[in-house]
Amino acid sequence: MNNINPIYKSVVIFVENIERSRNFYEEVLNQTIIADFGRNVGYENGLSIWDKDYALKTIFKDKINEINPGKFNAELYFEYDDLEILLKRFEENDVPLIHPIIEHPWGQRGLRIYDPDDHIIEISESMEAVVLRLYENGINVKEISEKTMLPIEYIKQLVD
């Protein structure tokens, strides 16, 4: 049966050095490979990296000199509930921080880093972890809903 709507499958980022980026995503962020085509690597979570020169030549062919791929125009988003462990790993691997762990106005804690090609990566707690942390800190369901903008019924399901 044909679906009448496109189905989102993944994001592909273009990288300057495939080996350096593989090391970052596989060793620092512990991503699992599902497909390795050499100049294009796909990971279990839907992220793929593609050698920039090869990708641009494949996509734009003879118009390669007319394009200007932008920087800082997107962010990759990951969730991980023990941010302190990740921050230590980033420090040990000299990963450049955009900002350390902060708490956003909606209660979610997160940090941002650069990958080897200056792609912005945000890693934040899951909203489920935020709700449980706030609840364990004595904040009631109504207040959590107001802070996180999540529905009261959803929060009740998490804390009951």
Report CA 109 to chain centroid distance, whole Å. 14
pLDDT number for residue 124: 94
Among candidates 150, 36, 131, 136, which has minimal Cα distance to 81? Answer: 131
Asked if residues 112 and 98 have their Cβ atoms less than 8 Å apart, the reply is yes
Span 62-76, mean pLDDT?
A: 71
In tens, the pLDDT along 106-142 reads 999 999 999 998 899 999 999 999 999 999 999 999 9
3-state secondary structure 66-131: HCCCCCCCCEEEEECCCHHHHHHHHHHCCCCEEEEEEECCCCCEEEEEECCCCCEEEEECCHHHHH
* Residue carrying the six token digits 């959803």: 154
Taken in order of first residue, the domains within the chain and their CATH numbers are 1-67 (3.10.180.10)
pLDDT band at 71 (very low <50, low <70, confident <90, very high): low
Is the pLDDT at 1 greater than 60, yes or no? no
pLDDT number for residue 76: 92
Proportion of the chain above pLDDT 90, given as a percent: 74
Radius of gyration of the chain (CA): 19
In tens, the pLDDT along 4-17 reads 766 777 899 999 99
